[in-house]
Every structure is written in C-alpha cells, then in structure tokens.
Chain A
Amino acid sequence: MKTESILRAAVVIGFIVLIELLCRLGVIPTSVLLAPSTMVTHGADLLRAGKFNHDIGISLLEIVAASIVSVLLGFVIGLVIHALPRMRRALEPLLSSYYAVPTFIFYPVFIVVLGVGPLPIIAIAVLLAVVTMITATLDGLDRIPRALHKSGLVMRLPVWRSAFFIKLPAALPYLFTGMKLAVAYSFIGVIASEFILSGSGVGYAIGYAYNNFQNDDMYSLMLLILIAVTAVNMVLNRIDHRFQSRRQR
C-alpha cells in the first residue's frame, strides 16, 4: 500500500475513532450525534429487520434510472452539439453557467407535469447530472488526436467503424469521467429530491426520522448512504484507474 493511501486511511479512521471517543465520553450527547459503532450496529439491525428495505429499493431504482438516462442523454446531446459547431458556440456559455441554476426550484413544475411519484425525482436528478455528461462528451471528442482521426481515414474505415473502433475508445476515459460524475449527481439529486418531493425512499425516511427525533434511524440511514456512495465511487475509480494506467505516458 502506498504511503498516501495509508495516510488517507489513517485520517478517516482517526476521525471516526475521535467521534467514537467523544460520544462515548459524553462530550457529544446522543441527542446530537450517535457513536459510529452504534450507527453500524443499528444499521445492521435495520437491514436485518427489513424496516427500510422498500425505501432503499425505491431510492436505488431511482438512482440507477437517473444515472442511465443522464449518461445516455448526455452522450447523445454531446454528440449532436459536437457535430454542430455553430450551435456549440451558442450553447457553450449556457453550459458553463448551468450549475449556477438551483435545479430544485423546478420541482413544482415537475410535479405538475409528471405527477407525484418517482418520475419528478428522476427528472430532477437527470437535470442535475446530464450537463456533466454533455461536457465530458464534448471534452472527450475534442481530445481525440488528429492523427487518430486520420488513421481511420487511411485505413479506409466507414464512418461508423471509425467512430466505434477508434473515436469511442479514444474518448472513453473522458466519457467515463462524465459517467462517474453523472452517477454522483444522480445520488445527490435523488436523495435530496426525496426530502421534499416524496413519500418514500431513503431521503424521505431520513427526513421522517429527523422530524420524529429518531436519531438512531436517521444516522444509520445516513451512514448507509455514505457507505453506498463510497462503494460505488471506489468501483468506478478502480475502473477509471485501469483505463488511465494503460494510457498514461
């Protein structure tokens, strides 16, 4: 293991141990924060009892749906914008200032249009995640070296074969970065939307537990989300690392 990895793990473990100690010694009261070990044991009990399985299932489905739609939609929109340079010049200022818009203000509109249920939640998450995929697609296509474009021509490949066998693999690391971010934004979009838009889902369950002073449920569900996000991110990072390690010169 590299020194950096050891240091990183030490910082995280040290922080958890510190919180554990402060909670156990009563410096932090249980009404404010639970000891991490209690969060873990209570979380395991909740999973065993299946109390929130329905909410977890709904949230996961919404996150997966939002991630898939964002990635595919962002990729297609990115391709179209890349193919139309004039449109790109017109849209680029909008894309670069997109994240200044608080997406959640659109939630009443989505409820009116799509009704109450998972659809407006997925729509908000997609709205939050799609632009990062569009920008990653544009970036990836821009960075394909000219020599690779020309290599496809020299091999007399039809346009679609050149796109599929040369341009797509060449742009893949950048597209994957976009995918990683789209998944992260989908998590954020879904969980945050569930707080305000939903009668089910992990976000809703956390909000419900908060309103009813059920600290143990609330913190355990928060921990569950943290673990899920970290695990997904680790898998994606590992794949990304494999892509990058073959290419770094």
Chain B
Amino acid sequence: MTVLNRPVPLKILEALPSQEPEEAQATLTGVTRYFKKNGSKELFHALGPIDLTLMKGEFFSVVGPSGCGKSTLLDALAGLSEPSSGSVTFEGRAVKGVPDGVGVVFQEDASFPWLNVHDNISFGLRMAGMDGAEIKRRTDYAMGFMGLKDFAGAYPAQLSGGMRQRVCIARTLVTQPRLILLDEPFGALDQQTRLLMGDELLRLWRETSATVLLITHALDEAAMLSDRVGVMSARPGLFIDIVETGWARSRDSRIVSTPRFGEVNARLWERLRVESMKVMGTATH
C-alpha cells in the first residue's frame, strides 16, 4: 500500500517558478472510511488510509476513477462526515462538524429554487445575522464578481446550469471562506463553459487567497487549475501520486495550448489509466 503525502515533481517542470506556501491549512492523517453494505452488517472499505496536507493558499485538485472515494474525502475534510479512523484538522484544530471558514460547492445544483439570485447569495449571511449593509456590500460584490448582477431578481429555474453553479459559488464566496472545497462543481457543464468557469475560479482563488481543494474527474481541469494534483487509486482510494504542476499564480485557460499542459495531462493520465481500467475490470497491468 503506497501513501504519498509529499509532492512528486514533474522533471520537466522543475525549472518553473512556483509559489511555496508555508503554512498548513488543513491536514488529513491516516483517514479511512468504511461503509455498511445495504441490508447487511458487512463493511466495505471506501477510502484510505489517507495522509494529506493542504498548504495555505494553494490550489489542490483530486482526480481518481469513479467510486474511489473522492467525495468521501471531501466530506471528511468539510466535517460533513466523520472518518472511521484517523484525524482531520483545519487551521490546527480537530474537525468536528463543519468548521467556521470552510465553504463547500457541490456537484449537484444546491441553489434554493424558491429564492432569487440575490437572496440565494445572501442567504447564509442573513442566517448568520449579519448587518444589512455588510450583507448588501458582500452580495453586490459577489454578484459583480461572478457576473450575476443583471440576474439578481431571477430565480434559479430561469438560469442555465452554469449560471446556477455560479450562484452556488457566489453563495460560498460571500462567507469569505479560508478553505473552499469544490466537489466536481463543473461536472454537468459543457467543455467551453467549464474552461471559462475554470478561469473564474482561478480569479476567485487569486483574489481571495483562499485555499482550494477541487474534486474533479476531468484531468484537463485539474491540470489547468491546480498547483498540485493528487491522483487516487481505485477503491479503497489512496493517493498513488501527487503531481506538482508548477504553474504561475497568474495562469488562466490559455495554458491549455502550451506543450507543458499536455505533459502534465499525460502524466496524470498515465497514473490514472491503470486505476480506471481496474474499475472497469479490464486491467492486469
């Protein structure tokens, strides 16, 4: 069983300038997750043991074959579920429930259909009892940032899938999280929209200086957006490789046309191919 918690640099990218964040934002130590099989007492091993340290301000993506436990990993980090063993910390404190300072964007549309865009975005702030002027300031900023100002009065049903996901991102953004967890947020979008949403995500990451953990099944998305990409094995999910991309912080989707992008992508696929074939039941080596 191989567990890597140190970055494995790509040789070809070694010369590239990369930011070296110093402070740990969140850690997972020996995290495992077992689930009961439906209708039986038998347990199946879904995840781990996982060791991972997310450095403050970094953009970390997780890729892996279907069912390898990516979302389970995110749930444990978000405090949405307790690991079967091991420990999770956020800013040095053990995670019990969702910690203050953590925002999550889900794959499924989590916008509230009974609220318009403005009220969706400001919902969390209103629930927290924030001052009205501050709610307005943050909501207006988030709507402007995500290009939603013209749709403030629209209901989610009137928006496209991409716009609804922007609403969910904006709803997370207004709470000013220090750690943003994204669970395949662009999974339901077409390729062009995903690229553009990726740019917006990078802009958000740069401007907020938050740490970002992105779960994705799209290797190109992970390669384009991340400082580091963790590659997970088939179930039970383990990190079999952590690839350091070395992109500059000012990157955007134009890097997809560079040879380096192709090389990062190829490296990820090389590590993932065998694992994906295991899931399909066709791999022997």
Contact = CB atoms under 8 A, between A and B. Distances in A.
A186 to B, nearest CB: 27
Contact of B113 (A151, A153, A246): A246
A157 B104 contact: no
Contact of A148 (B97, B98, B110): B110
A150 B112 contact: no
A249 B113 CA distance: 9
A145 B98 contact: no
B97 A154 contact: no
Interface string B109-144: 110111000000001100110000000000000000
A145 B157 contact: no
A150 B104 contact: yes
A26 B106 CA distance: 70
Given A247-B114, A249-B157, A156 B98 contact: yes
Contact of A145 (B78, B97, B108, B127): B108
A93 to B, nearest CB: 18
Interface in B91-115: 97-98, 100, 102-104, 106-110, 112-114
A151 B110 contact: yes
B106 A161 contact: no
Q: How large is the interface on B (under 10, 10 to 19, 20 to 34, 35 or more residues)?
A: 20 to 34
Contact of A157 (B80, B127, B175): B127
A172 B115 CA distance: 13
Nearest to B108: A147
Interface in A165-219: 165-166, 169-170, 172
Contacts of B112: 148, 151, 166, 169-170
Nearest to B103: A154
B110 A156 contact: no
Interface of A: 145-148, 150-151, 153-157, 161, 165-166, 169-170, 172, 245-249
Given A147-B106, A247-B113, 7 more contacts: A151-B106, A155-B127, A157-B127, A170-B112, A245-B157, A247-B155, A249-B113
